[in-house]
Structure 1
Amino acid sequence: MEIELKLALQPRHRAQFRRHPLLNKITPVQHSLLSIYFDTAKFDLMRRGIALRLRRVNNRWVQTLKAETQSVGALTNRPEWEVTVTDGKHPDFSALPPVALDLLAGIKLKRIMPVFTTEFQRTTWQIESEQTQAEVALDSGKIHTDDASSNICEVEIELKSGNPEFLFDVAIQLLEHVPLRVEPRSKAERGYILSGAATLVPVKAIQPMIEKNQSVGDVWNAILQAALMQLSANLPGFLENAHDTEYLHQLRVALRRLHTGARLAKSLGRPIPDWDQPLRQLMQALNPARDWDVFQQEILPEILAILESPAVNSGIDDAVLVLLQDTTAIVRQQSLAVLHKPAFTRLVLDIGRDLLSAAPAEARQQEVQTWAKAILDKRWEKLCKSCHGFAKLNASKRHKARIAAKKLRYIADAFAPIYGKRAHHFIAALSSLQNELGYTNDRVIGQQLLHQLSRKTASLGFGLGRLSGILESSAALRAHVPADIWQRLARSKLFWR
Structure 2
Amino acid sequence: MSELELKFQVPRTSLAAVRRALSAGKTQRLHLQARYHDTADGLLAAHSLALRLRQEGRAWMQTLKGSTGHLAQREEHDVALGAVGRGGPSLDVQRHHDSAIGQALLRLLQEHPEAELQQVYATDVWRTHRVLSRSGARIELALDEGCIIAGNAKHPLCELEFELKSGPPAALFELAQAWSERHGLWLDSVSKAQRGQLLARGLAFAEPVKAGTPTIDRKTGAAHTLAQIVNGCLAQVLPNASEVAAGCPTPEHVHQLRVGLRRLRTAWRELTELAPMEWPAADAQAVDTAFAALGAARDDQVVGGHITARLQAAGAPWPQWPAAADAPALPAATVQDAAFQRALIGLLAYTHDALHQPDDTGAPHALIAKRLQHLHGQLTKAAKRFEALPVAEQHRVRKRLKRLRYLAEFAAPLYRRPDVDKYLRALRPAQDALGQHNDEAVAEAAYRRVTAEEPRAWFAVGWLLGQQAESARQCAQALRQVADAPPFWRQRGKKRRAD
Map 1:160-171 onto structure 2 (within 5 A).
160-171=165-176
- Alignment deviations for residues 100-140 of structure 1 (CA, whole Å, 9 cap, x no partner): 13343345599322221111110111123465322111111
Q: Matches of 2:477 and 2:137 in 1, distance apart?
A: 60
| Equivalenced residues, count | 477
Partners of 2:121 and 2:200 within 8 A in 1: yes
Q: Matches of 1:93 and 1:361 in 2, distance apart?
A: 34
Match of 1:128 among 112, 127, 133: 133
Deviation at 1:388, TM superposition (A): 4.1
Q: Matches of 1:306 and 1:273 in 2, distance apart?
A: 48
Q: Matches of 2:256 and 2:142 in 1, distance apart?
A: 31
- Alignment deviations for residues 219-244 of structure 1 (CA, whole Å, 9 cap, x no partner): 11111111111011212333345432
Find the counterpart in structure 2 of residue 200 from structure 1. 206
Find the counterpart in structure 2 of residue 3 from structure 1. 4
Q: Matches of 1:269 and 1:108 in 2, distance apart?
A: 47
Query: Which deviates further from its counterpart, 283-292 or 380-389?
Result: 380-389
- Uncovered stretches (5+) of structure 1, i.e. residues with no partner: 308-314
Counterparts in 2 of 1:210 and 1:18: CA distance versus 1, 3 Å: same
Asked if 1:398 is matched to 2:394, the reply is yes
Deviation at 1:422, TM superposition (A): 0.8
Query: Which deviates further from its counterpart, 245-254 or 37-46?
Result: 37-46
Map 1:17-416 onto structure 2 (within 5 A).
17-20=18-21, 23-68=22-67, 70=69, 72=71, 75-84=72-81, 86=84, 88-98=88-98, 99=100, 100=102, 101-107=106-112, 111-129=116-134, 131-196=136-201, 200-240=206-246, 242-264=248-270, 266-268=272-274, 270=276, 273-274=279-280, 275-307=283-315, 316=317, 321=320, 324=322, 331=328, 334-358=330-354, 364-416=360-412
Counterparts in 2 of 1:265 and 1:479: CA distance versus 1, 3 Å: closer
- Alignment deviations for residues 58-96 of structure 1 (CA, whole Å, 9 cap, x no partner): 111111111246453xx2423434332645252133422
TM-score by length of 2: 0.88
Q: Matches of 2:52 and 2:211 in 1, distance apart?
A: 32
Letter in 2 for 1:476: A
Partners of 1:133 and 1:159 within 8 A in 2: yes
Letter in 2 for 1:430: L
Deviation at 1:369, TM superposition (A): 1.7
Task: For residue 273 of structure 1, give the secondary structure of its aligned residue in structure 2.
Answer: coil
Q: Matches of 1:130 and 1:337 in 2, distance apart?
A: 32
Task: For residue 62 of structure 1, give the secondary structure of its aligned residue in structure 2.
Answer: strand
Q: Percent of counterpart pairs with the same letter? A: 27
Query: Which deviates further from its counterpart, 292-301 or 50-59?
Result: 292-301
Find the counterpart in structure 2 of residue 473 from structure 1. 466
Partners of 2:30 and 2:127 within 8 A in 1: yes
- Uncovered stretches (5+) of structure 2, i.e. residues with no partner: 491-499
Query: Which deviates further from its counterpart, 260-269 or 224-233?
Result: 260-269
Query: Which deviates further from its counterpart, 144-153 or 159-168?
Result: 159-168
Partners of 2:247 and 2:332 within 8 A in 1: no
> RMSD of the alignment, in Å?
2.7
Letter in 2 for 1:344: F
Counterparts in 2 of 1:383 and 1:26: CA distance versus 1, 3 Å: same
- Alignment deviations for residues 319-364 of structure 1 (CA, whole Å, 9 cap, x no partner): x63x65x769953x53322222222211111111122343999984
Task: For residue 116 of structure 1, give the secondary structure of its aligned residue in structure 2.
Answer: strand
- Alignment deviations for residues 282-341 of structure 1 (CA, whole Å, 9 cap, x no partner): 22222211222232232222222222xxxxxxx645xx63x65x769953x533222222
Q: Matches of 2:277 and 2:60 in 1, distance apart?
A: 50
Partners of 1:137 and 1:157 within 8 A in 2: yes
Letter in 1 for 2:62: Q
Q: Matches of 1:361 and 1:124 in 2, distance apart?
A: 31
Task: For residue 183 of structure 2, give the secondary structure of its aligned residue in structure 1.
Answer: coil
TM-score by length of 1: 0.88
Find the counterpart in structure 1 of residue 493 from structure 2. none
Counterparts in 2 of 1:494 and 1:360: CA distance versus 1, 3 Å: farther
Q: Matches of 1:69 and 1:4 in 2, distance apart?
A: 12
Partners of 1:265 and 1:272 within 8 A in 2: no
Q: Matches of 1:316 and 1:9 in 2, distance apart?
A: 48
Letter in 1 for 2:349: R
Q: Matches of 1:240 and 1:454 in 2, distance apart?
A: 37
- Alignment deviations for residues 364-408 of structure 1 (CA, whole Å, 9 cap, x no partner): 432222121122222223333444433433433322221221221
Q: Matches of 1:329 and 1:25 in 2, distance apart?
A: 42
Task: For residue 205 of structure 1, give the secondary structure of its aligned residue in structure 2.
Answer: coil
Counterparts in 2 of 1:81 and 1:328: CA distance versus 1, 3 Å: farther
Q: Matches of 2:70 and 2:190 in 1, distance apart?
A: 8
